[in-house]
Amino acid sequence: MTKAPPAKTFSLGEAQGLLAAVRERTRRAMEEVHALSLSADDEDPDGAETTEAFREEATRILAEWARDVESMGAEVKGPWLVDFDCGAGYYCWSWPEESLDFFHGYKEGFAGRVRLQ
């Protein structure tokens, strides 16, 4: 397994410049998971046998997405949640936000997000 490169420190402009690529990779991964869920529902409406297979494949898609995002130097903090380290905390983005509008310190986490001025 390939280890992700160390996280990078981003200026706001650098993080904003990378956001389009992060959003696109996120959109594609979410579409894969959505298509997978539709397929699982069609195959076994009761879900008993396909639930485990769905979970495994969705986990694989999410892990691949996380590796892609982390390879760009950003940090994945949860499903569809990405932080860009700025040296004083994080510029914080979550799907489906259109732009990079939030910041939080290292200790505050997502719940402590504040809108960028």
When pLDDT is averaged across residues 92-116 and rounded to a whole number, the result is 95
**Res. 3: pLDDT tops 70:** no
Amino acid symbol at 4: A
How far apart CA 108 and CA 117 sit, in angstroms, is: 18
Amino acid symbol at 112: G
**Res. 52: pLDDT tops 90:** no
pLDDT score for 114: 97
Over the stretch 4-32, which tens digit does the pLDDT of each residue have? 555 689 999 999 999 999 999 999 999 99
Amino acid symbol at 115: R
**Res. 49: pLDDT tops 70:** no
When pLDDT is averaged across residues 64-74 and rounded to a whole number, the result is 97
**Res. 2: pLDDT tops 70:** no
CB-based contact 33:58 (threshold 8 Å): yes
What angle is formed at CA 63 by the lines to CA 73 and CA 88, rounded to 5 degrees? 30
What share of the chain has pLDDT > 70, as a percent?
A: 85
- Cα dihedral 56, 36, 2, 85 sign: negative
Rounded to two decimals, the pTM is: 0.84
**Res. 53: pLDDT tops 60:** yes
Query: What are the sequence ranges of the domains in the chain?
Result: 12-115
Say which DSSP state 13 is in: H
When pLDDT is averaged across residues 83-88 and rounded to a whole number, the result is 96
Q: For the purposes of burial, counting CB atoms within 10 Å of the CB of 18, is it exposed (0-12), middle (13-18) or buried (19 or more)?
A: buried
